[in-house]
Amino acid sequence: MTGADPRSRIPRTDQLLALPAVQAARARLSDQVIRTVVTRAQDRARRSEIAPEDVQDTVITDLAERRATSLTSVLNATGVVIHTNLGRAPLSPAAREALLDASGYVDVELDLTTGQRSKRGVATREALLAACPTAEDALVVNNGAAALVLATTALAADREIIVSRGELVEIGAGFRLPDLMESTGARLREVGTTNRTHLADYADAVSPQTAALLKVHPSNFRVSGFTSDVPLRELRALADEHDLPLIMDVGSGLLMPDPILPDEPSLSEALEAGADVVIASGDKLLGGTQAGILLGRTDTIQKLAKHPLARAVRADKLTLAALEATLVSGDTPVQQALHADPERLRARAEELGDDLGMPVVSHDGRVGGGGAPGVPLPGWAVRLPERAASFLRLGQPAVLPRVHDGACLIDLRCIPEDDDARVAAAAHAALGALD
């Protein structure tokens, strides 16, 4: 007589859903997700991938490991401060706390004194103006590209924008600024050449169809040699002569000049040089959350704020809260990593290297995020076998090293010092997996 079909021993759905561990998982996971986990375990048993008796433990284990988000926290050991693939700038403790506070009901558009509706983002605007006193007014949208699209649409739709050919930048993932701007209906009037543009090139291009002059800082590449461009102050004089707005996209969001980044323009410098509106990203050198920041003259900023597109690209309450906290708190993790003491980095690296029995080598970090290309940030790294990299990435915690020249390099520049022990434990595990 043939034995009973083993699939008949697979626990029923109602039995699995009644398990205490499954009931506890309802506090953080939806019923749909829980049922999917249960069904998947039952299907594995039907395909004989696991025994029917293992279904219950599989469900409990899978639910324990299942998180509400698939995003994984990563320790950045690459030495690249603004790492686009890791979400660019890590937020300060104050900004993280602000995000939690803003995740519930908050007075984002309410005056608690009067009980009446108020303007959105007033406190964030005030924080921006306090951090950059040269600006008359400020506006925050959802990212840097949106800021440029809004400025282009509000100031130059169906007309021409004059821009140097050497400043027609392609940003990440193949997006090109010319394509972004032309999508608004504006027409680009390219002047000069890739390596040299003169004031006369702009002046000769001005016509009744001209709506604005645009200058873009090519922050993610560098052209050297026989080059020239037109300073913003000279463009200001030309803009005044023809009553044209002058737009400056500085890209990386440096508020004030930084001596370690001498070629990176700041928002304050661009405003002082005469730009009507300056555009930057909030999640790069500023060290905040993703946002598009527009600073400039009151009349220009108000024109942008009142344009219908401003509603479509406005920042949400989380962005406003985190950006304000970034501006009013102390140094951000980005600033701390940029200005890290090389000798302290060396001491930390040597301590890790001694612990692991691995050599320490000199290693230049990078700004990243399209900022200050080619500018080295002197530091140190622990050199591991290249094969350790995958074990570090997939370990707990996940550590992202730099793989270079046949080696796996652990640079502690972007690692909070409190996390050094976690990096050491992850590296020990990775080296152990190589045996």
Q: Number of folded domains in the chain?
A: 3
Same domain, 316 and 420: no
Cα of first residue to Cα of last residue in the chain, in angstroms, is 50
List the one residue out of 365, 332, 190, 314 whose CA is nearest residue 253: 332
Question: What is the pLDDT, as a whole number, of residue 36?
Answer: 96
- Which residue type sits at 343? E
Same domain, 108 and 227: yes
Whether the CB-CB separation of 220 and 373 falls below 8 Å is answered with yes
* Mean pLDDT score, 413-428: 97
Please determine, for residue 133, whether its predicted confidence score (pLDDT) is greater than 50.
yes
- Which residue type sits at 247? I
* Mean pLDDT score, 128-153: 96
Report pLDDT digits (tens) over 20-49: 999 999 999 999 999 999 999 999 999 999
Same domain, 21 and 145: no
Q: Name the region of 90 (left: φ>0; alpha: ψ -120 to 50; beta: rest).
A: beta
List the one residue out of 282, 281, 319 whose CA is nearest residue 103: 319
Structure tokens at 47: 């395909």
Interacting residues of 153 by C-beta distance below 8 A, sequence separation 6+: 184, 185, 186, 307, 309
Question: What is the pLDDT, as a whole number, of residue 1?
Answer: 42
> Is residue 20 situated within a structural domain?
yes
Mean pLDDT of the chain: 93
> Is residue 1 situated within a structural domain?
no
> Is residue 19 situated within a structural domain?
yes
pLDDT bucket at 342, cuts 50 / 70 / 90:
very high
List the one residue out of 373, 317, 326 whose CA is nearest residue 82: 373
Same domain, 339 and 287: no
Across-strand partners of 228?
Answer: 196
pLDDT bucket at 182, cuts 50 / 70 / 90:
confident
Question: What is the pLDDT, as a whole number, of residue 170?
Answer: 76
Residue 397 preceded by cis peptide, ω within 30? yes
Degrees to nearest 5, angle at CA 169 with 167 and 175 = 155
Assessment of whether the complete model's pTM goes beyond 0.75: yes
> Is residue 364 situated within a structural domain?
yes
Same domain, 130 and 51: no
In the sheet with 187-191, reading across from the earlier edge strand, the strands are: 137-141, 292-296, 277-281, 246-251, 210-216, 160-164, 187-191
Interacting residues of 31 by C-beta distance below 8 A, sequence separation 6+: none
> Is residue 277 situated within a structural domain?
yes
Containing structural domain, residue 357 = 74-84+335-434
> Is residue 280 situated within a structural domain?
yes
Same domain, 323 and 404: no
Same domain, 245 and 281: yes
Tell me which of 330, 359, 386 is where a domain ends.
330
Structure tokens at 130: 């306090």
How far is the C-alpha of 24 from the C-alpha of 327, rounded, in Å? 40
Q: What is the CATH number of the domain that holds 108?
A: 3.40.640.10
List the one residue out of 330, 388, 340, 391 whose CA is nearest residue 366: 340
Same domain, 246 and 149: yes
